[in-house]
Structure 1
Amino acid sequence: MVGCDILISGTGGFAARIAFDIAATAEEAVEVVIAGRNRERLSWLRTAANARAALFGRKARFTTHVVDLLAADASDLMLAATGPRIVVQAASIQTSQVIAQTGNAWTQLVAEGGLSATAVFQSLLSSRVAAAITRAGKPVTLVNCGFPDVVNGIIKAMGHDVACGMGNVAILSNVFAGSAATPAGAEVKVLAHYQNLAAWRRRPQERGGRPPRVWLAGKEVDDVYAAFADIQLTPEPVIEISGASGVPMLLAMAAGRSWHGHVPGPNGLPGGYPVRLAGGELELALPDGVSAAEAITWNASFEEANGLVVSPEGGVRFTGILRDRLTEHVPALRDGFPVRDLEAVCEELLRLRAALMETPPAANDA
């Protein structure tokens, strides 16, 4: 029978974390399909997820669907074959491991210009899935895991709905909640852009730059770096937290329950926010005294300074150091591009990435 509660698109480490944590925590019955093109990997994820559900005595059940999302009409066929109520889009043509890699001119460009260098790549499959959901005309909730702080704005500008993403702000909100600095039971609310994560990958004495905004029990923390000096993230993507962070929300969505927490890119907004889920819809749940306009402007300012900005009219433009680095290689991107040209721009940037990955990094100036 066609129809599942949650479709996880992707078979990488992030998708696996989601599936395995659903298996370990689902209290209500939930049907999950994992979709991807690697049959052996799919078989393992299905086997391990169902084993974990049995091990923990949970009510999740996992099946698989073979699909190559780069193939023509793949997203439409996947949706038709699985009939999901919630799509968790975790497949991408750009690995998140790039943040911890070195040794070529592409990783150097990303390190210097920022992760928004990968935003177009992260948008490709997610925008195709979003478009397929729109064409199907059915009430399907899309959770985009690929760089949602920025990509969700692109999806929205293309005319498609996207509920939110996972990770990023939810990494920080949960590590702050688990910090020794946070009194037991204190409510934690965080405004954070993905760019805020980089400082927490460095040693406490090396941290700097604009911090996230954090409220404990309704009071804003004055010195976030000092208050949470005990927090330490890895140089690599912290999938153990980020992949897990959306699982309680997904299970609440599947069961029709309310939930509150933090997500990046809610309804296509830039950056990350505290939110509540009620009646199947996500809405901002900001600290007292903080307006939606203030929170959105604060988050948007990061990409305005350096990164990728999407206008309400559908214009995409690069800013800051990233604009300088990219346009050294692709001058045509100096003035940006209309969001409707995403796929053509992606092809151009894929050629650039391939060339730069074969090029040694430039020597730093003495």
Structure 2
Amino acid sequence: MNRPRHVVVLGTGAFAGTLTKAFAQRASGPTVVHVVSGDHDRARNLAALANAHAVLADRSVRFCPHRLDVAGGADLRPLLGRHQPQVLVVCSSEYSPGEMRGHPSAWTHLVGAAGFGVTVPLQAATALRAASAVEASPGTAVVNACFPDAVNPVLHGAGLPVLCGLGNVSTLVGLIRSELRVSDESRLKVLAHHAHLHSPPTADRDIRAWFDDQPLTAAHDILQRGRRRPRADLNEIGAVSGAAVIDALTHPSDYYVGHVAAPEGRPGGYPVVITGRSVALRLPPGLSERQAVDRNQRWSVLDGITVDRQGKAHFAPAALDVLRTHWPDCPATFGPQDIEELRTRQLILRERLLQLPAPTPEPRKTYDTPESL
């Protein structure tokens, strides 16, 4: 019998839970999945549920819970060093999109007005710690599911080995595939950003999609219908799609054709081919890699932030204006080395703003691309 491969999943939230259960039903070979959380009951319950899914699907997968609070400073290196996993999946951060669906407050208003990019320090801190820990397991592929479109470029700029991200572009591809009834993902090539989970200011700033290498002009209308669905449903689509990526990296076959967010630190999401542990873009005819990356970089501004090739983040001017109403000395730019300090300051800011009522809603601002980009 083949020796089992190992996967570490960091986090037990909604995305991690759906991803783990989906992997339980599709793993191609013997696998041990280590479910890691600071809350042992959540890790134990998710592992038990995923084990049931694996048995019912007749898959040779075993799930083991671990109590380890990486966000709180716990060291992930001993676990990685002991098991040498094929893949480390980061699904844990100090910000959840679910906050925007909860009770309105000055904090939710700030994120809505400034853009999702304001959360980068809260999204990136745990990912930075986790990716740094793979020095104990050099063969481990790091896959980040926490706002990868912006966080992965930060990690890459820090010299950390992040291979790709999950969700976002795959969610949008899933909506298109569902409406067109396309079972073969290789027929689609979609260029998209996390920001496109929301309707863009104008249709010409929406995703670009190709079906059998021909422009898919119906993409905007399809997504407008899909975006009206509950956000939890969209989250689930991205997580289920992610299970195929994790399986391809854990049990490599000839190749895997699909879509991932932020491959090798590029901003946004792309169509890719995964062969072994390498991820290559599969762009439509006439579109160069530079053009694809530049387009995703321009779309990044819709989230209120861009990250350059050195991993330095730049708040869009309008986003910075909103931030400085509550955080007067908020930096306009920051690098990977600044994440820990900004994360601490944002946690304090969030706690304060959560106690304040949301002001009267204002129209969402439209951001222009900074001239420096």
TM-score by length of 2: 0.89
Deviation string for 1:293-349 (max 9, x for gaps)?
A: 000000000224652222333432211432111122223334322321110111111
Q: Is the 8 A contact 2:80 2:137 kept in 1?
A: no
Q: How far apart are residue 226 of structure 1 and its match? A: 3.2
Give, in whole Å, the separation in 1 of the partners of 2:320 and 2:19: 34
Q: How far apart are residue 13 of structure 1 and its match? A: 1.4
Q: Which of 296, 306, 311 is residue 309 of structure 1 equivalent to?
A: 306
Which residues of 2 match residues 9-158 of structure 1 at below 5 A? Answer: 9-133=10-134, 135-136=135-136, 138-158=138-158
Q: Is the 8 A contact 1:181 1:227 kept in 2?
A: no
Please name the residue that 1:210 is paired with: 205
AA in 1 matched with 2:105:
N
Q: Which of 220, 241, 246 is residue 225 of structure 1 equivalent to?
A: 220
Q: How far apart are residue 73 of structure 1 and its match? A: 4.7
Mean Cα displacement is larger for which, 184-193 or 208-217? Answer: 184-193
Give, in whole Å, the separation in 2 of the partners of 1:146 and 1:184: 27
**3-state DSSP class of the match of 2:70?**
coil
| Mapped pair 1:324 → 2:321 | yes
CA spacing shift, 1:226–1:242, aligned 2, 3 Å: closer
Give, in whole Å, the separation in 2 of the partners of 1:151 and 1:341: 13
Q: Is the 8 A contact 2:92 2:126 kept in 1?
A: yes
CA spacing shift, 1:185–1:349, aligned 2, 3 Å: closer
Q: Is the 8 A contact 2:154 2:312 kept in 1?
A: no
Please name the residue that 2:350 is paired with: 353
Give, in whole Å, the separation in 2 of the partners of 1:225 and 1:19: 31
Q: How far apart are residue 82 of structure 1 and its match? A: 3.7
Mean Cα displacement is larger for which, 314-323 or 303-312? Answer: 303-312
CA spacing shift, 1:328–1:177, aligned 2, 3 Å: same
Please name the residue that 1:171 is paired with: 171
CA spacing shift, 1:102–1:211, aligned 2, 3 Å: farther
Q: Is the 8 A contact 2:88 2:140 kept in 1?
A: yes
Give, in whole Å, the separation in 2 of the partners of 1:36 and 1:103: 28
Give, in whole Å, the separation in 2 of the partners of 1:115 and 1:297: 20
Please name the residue that 1:203 is paired with: none
CA spacing shift, 1:102–1:132, aligned 2, 3 Å: same
Mean Cα displacement is larger for which, 214-223 or 230-239? Answer: 230-239
Mean Cα displacement is larger for which, 331-340 or 16-25? Answer: 331-340
TM-score by length of 1: 0.91
Mean Cα displacement is larger for which, 62-71 or 287-296? Answer: 62-71
Give, in whole Å, the separation in 1 of the partners of 2:256 and 2:51: 25
Deviation string for 1:229-268 (max 9, x for gaps)?
A: 6535534242221111111111111112210100111101
Give the unaligned 5+ runs of structure 1.
Answer: 201-205
Give, in whole Å, the separation in 2 of the partners of 1:341 and 1:225: 37
How many residues are aligned here?
Answer: 359
Q: How far apart are residue 22 of structure 1 and its match? A: 1.1
Q: How far apart are residue 151 of structure 1 and its match? A: 0.3
| Mapped pair 1:278 → 2:279 | no
| Mapped pair 1:262 → 2:263 | no
CA spacing shift, 1:49–1:186, aligned 2, 3 Å: closer
Q: Is the 8 A contact 1:7 1:86 kept in 2?
A: yes
Give, in whole Å, the separation in 2 of the partners of 1:154 and 1:315: 7
Q: What's the C-alpha RMSD, in Å, of the aligned pairs?
A: 2.5
CA spacing shift, 1:255–1:233, aligned 2, 3 Å: farther
Deviation string for 1:40-81 (max 9, x for gaps)?
A: 222211211111111111121111222111344522233234
Please name the residue that 2:238 is paired with: 242
Q: Is the 8 A contact 2:11 2:91 kept in 1?
A: yes
CA spacing shift, 1:342–1:8, aligned 2, 3 Å: same
Give, in whole Å, the separation in 1 of the partners of 2:184 and 2:71: 47
Please name the residue that 2:337 is paired with: 340
Q: Is the 8 A contact 1:112 1:321 kept in 2?
A: no
Q: How far apart are residue 144 of structure 1 and its match? A: 0.4
Q: How far apart are residue 36 of structure 1 and its match? A: 0.9
CA spacing shift, 1:71–1:357, aligned 2, 3 Å: closer
Q: Is the 8 A contact 1:8 1:33 kept in 2?
A: yes
CA spacing shift, 1:209–1:30, aligned 2, 3 Å: same
CA spacing shift, 1:71–1:350, aligned 2, 3 Å: closer
CA spacing shift, 1:193–1:328, aligned 2, 3 Å: same
Deviation string for 1:11-39 (max 9, x for gaps)?
A: 11111111111111223222211111222
Give, in whole Å, the separation in 1 of the partners of 2:93 and 2:110: 19
